Chains A and B, each alone.
Chain A
Amino acid sequence: MSAIHLQNLVKKFGDFTALKTMDLAIADGEFMALLGPSGCGKSTTMNMIAGMEEPTSGKILFAERDMAGVPMGRRGVGFVFQNYAIFTHMTVRQNLAYGPKMRGAPKAEIDRRVGAIAEMLQLTPLLDRKADRLSVNILQRVAIGRSAIMEPAIFLLDEPLSNVDAAFRAVMRTELKQLQRQFRQTMVYVTHDQLEAMTMADRIAVMDHGVLQQVGTPLEVYNNPANVFVARFIGAPGMNLLKGKPAESDRGLVIDLGTLGVTPPLPAEIAAAVRGTQGDVLYGFRPEQAALVKRGQGLSLPVTFVERIGARTIVHLGQGEGAVKAVFGNDVGLAIGQTAVVAPAAQSVRVFDAATGLAVRAG
């Protein structure tokens, strides 16, 4: 059991800065997902936690203990690789026993621990199978078991589901989450798949271009994105963002979106915050929060594309800067060429400063 503190962590590869001043506190026993597109610095962060790479500057603390100079074999970290890195020339049993054996544990103890971990992960009938002919979910369990047998305080998982097809992924997400409940270790999970992060993590750290964008529970980052990047990245499709100028009207503060017209009035709390800003803003709302309303009560936009995905229908409206997506039930009667009038639920509206990209928050 161990908390992880990253303090002013910086990593440079030559001239390229992979990670810019990262501060992150991961609580003991927490499941933290590092989420971001490829090249955002999430794997670099994880490799530094594991000790595979040395930070250029900054500190990594495990339960207040500085890890600088502690080699990766002595950090007490379990690491599950993207492709699991199973020792294919060994049996499942030899894979599981590898760690204790290298540390010189007595044979009786190794047998006992391998037996216990195999029982827990339902690997007992497969113990004497060669590891190069196992299916991918078994490989995942072997990889986890091989690390877990060392009883690491911290578990690091590097995109363990990215080589798996979509149908398997659902099964393995569930399995992973259950395993985490069993082991109760601090887990850091690197992924570019927001669905994995959303479904498994206690908190998500969203990263982009080496910068930590936001840390919060899955619902926090979904409902209240800290900036434009998070708003667009989280959610499928991402948040709609329309550029405009705040303007006073007799019904309250609205955003003048230029050719798209004027938005419905903002809720009082946000309106107060927006009045305190200067310059253009971005008017944001989730596609799922858009509803069809009467003419004059929302934004009038031509339907450009209708994407039917079974339970839901994604309707693409408008073009270029003024493009909006809206998600409806599958019974929506819109077709290409028609005009739709949509308005977001008032409480779901989020406003961002167009210059800084940061959320304009009430209070």
Chain B
Amino acid sequence: MSAVTATISEDVMKTVQAKPALRHEGAKLGFRLTLPAQILVLFIAVFPLLMQLYISLTDWSPLSGLGWWNAWSLWNNFANYTDLAVDARFWSALKRTAIVMIVCVPVEFLLGLALATLFADEFPGKRIFYSILLMPMMVVPAVAGYMFFMLFQSGGPLNDLLSAISGMPVTIAWLSDPTLALIAVMVADIWQWTPLMFLILLAGLVGVPEDQIKAATLLGANPWQRFVTIVLPKMRTIIIIALAIRVIENFKIFDTLYIMTGGGPGVATETISVYIYKLTTQDLIWGYVAAIALAILIVLSIAAVFAMKRMARAREVTA
């Protein structure tokens, strides 16, 4: 009996810690095992990155008649980067990308969470609705782009529907109005990507231990209190993952949008990806494109590191 009590108190007092020497051994082996993959990454990521850095310091273009390795002769004293700082079209594209993200990701998250909460319980026809709900995600983005392109035509089904409801002819030129066009591309993005958010959050939601929810209920928590104090904290990690995936993906928003508006009217829906695409395929100034892409990569990397540090700190505080 005394032996048992002794183990209990040791158990209580001791937090599990791996021995440092052991951890070092493991790290060495781990490094060796991942070496082939690391070499591969070197060629896939590091080499193009260095190439990009090199080109971004020159005026090189595929039309300049030089191999890219000879781009040094077109060295331009960091002109690409100084141009970038004053490129109004670049900054407004960046701002637009941010606006789309700030609107789309939270809307997708809230809709996804609401749907996940709904689907966590049983209701008649759940399987059918579930399949229908996942369909947008399976549509090829280019096809979704054409769908919404036609939906938002001034003679299209959406205006027909609005006419039928309001009883007077509605002829809104959705994709020709700067503000409405931006809204339209956001609607398309939300339509297509809410299902992914829903799917990830549903997986997190069904993983919340049911007896803890029951325990909370027995202790007098109402549904809202249960959601805030038990369900959300338990879903914390999966929420962060879902948001991270969507923020990264949304920043690169391109295909659906490009087919719907081509970045227009004018530059009203021109996001970073669309701007870079146009510079690459129409203006063919690849040195400048390389500079933009690199600048964005650096800014995003810094943001990602900052976000991850904050996440780690938040986890320590709650741990």
Residues of A within 8 A of B215 (CB): 79, 81, 85, 87, 146
Can you identify 26 A-B contacts, CB atoms within 8 angstroms?
A73-B218, A73-B222, A77-B218, A81-B214, A85-B209, A85-B214, A85-B215, A87-B212, A87-B215, A87-B216, A87-B229, A88-B212, A89-B318, A98-B221, A98-B229, A99-B220, A102-B219, A102-B220, A102-B225, A135-B11, A137-B8, A146-B215, A146-B219, A150-B219, A168-B4, A171-B4
Q: A102-B219, A102-B221 are in contact. Are A81 and B319 (CB under 8 A)?
A: no
- Is the CB of B5 closer than 8 A to any CB of chain A? yes
Interface residues on A, range: 35 or more
- Whether, in the assembled complex, B158 has its beta carbon less than 8 Å from a beta carbon of chain A, the answer is no
CB pair A73–B220 under 8 Å, yes or no, is yes
| Partner among B8, B211, B234 whose Cβ is within 8 Å of the Cβ of A81 | B211
Q: Are A73 and B219 in contact (CB under 8 A)?
A: yes
| Interchain residue pairs A-B with the least CB separation, the first 4 | A99-B219, A85-B211, A135-B11, A85-B215
A83 an interface residue at 8 Å Cβ cutoff?
yes
In angstroms, Cα B128 to Cα A120, docked, is 54
Tell me which residues from 11 to 50 in chain B have a Cβ below 8 Å from any Cβ of chain A.
11-12, 15
Distance in Å: Cβ of A190 to nearest Cβ of chain B: 14
How distant is the Cα of A147 from the Cα of B215 in the complex, in angstroms? Answer: 9
Interface assignment of B233: CB less than 8 Å from any CB of chain A: yes
Chain B residues close to A by CB (< 8 Å): 1, 4-5, 8, 11-12, 15, 209, 211-212, 214-222, 225, 229-230, 233-234, 236, 318-319
B1 close to A98 (CB less than 8 A): no
Most buried by A among B211, B215, B217, B319: B215
A78 to B214, alpha carbons, bound, how many Å? 12
Contacts of A133 in B (CB 8 A): 15
Using CB atoms, name the residue of chain B closest to A138: B12
Chain A positions 69 through 81: 1 when the CB is less than 8 Å from some CB of chain B, otherwise 0? 0001110011101
**Known contacts A73-B217, A137-B8, A150-B220, then 20 further A-B pairs from the complex at CB < 8 Å, ordered by chain A residue:** A52-B214, A73-B218, A79-B215, A82-B211, A85-B209, A85-B214, A85-B215, A87-B215, A87-B229, A87-B230, A98-B221, A130-B318, A130-B319, A135-B8, A147-B218, A168-B4, A168-B8, A170-B1, A171-B1, A171-B8
- The interface residues of chain A lying within 8 Å CB-to-CB of B221 are 73, 98, 102
| In the complex with contacts A85-B209, A98-B229, A171-B4, A79-B218 CB distance below 8 A | yes
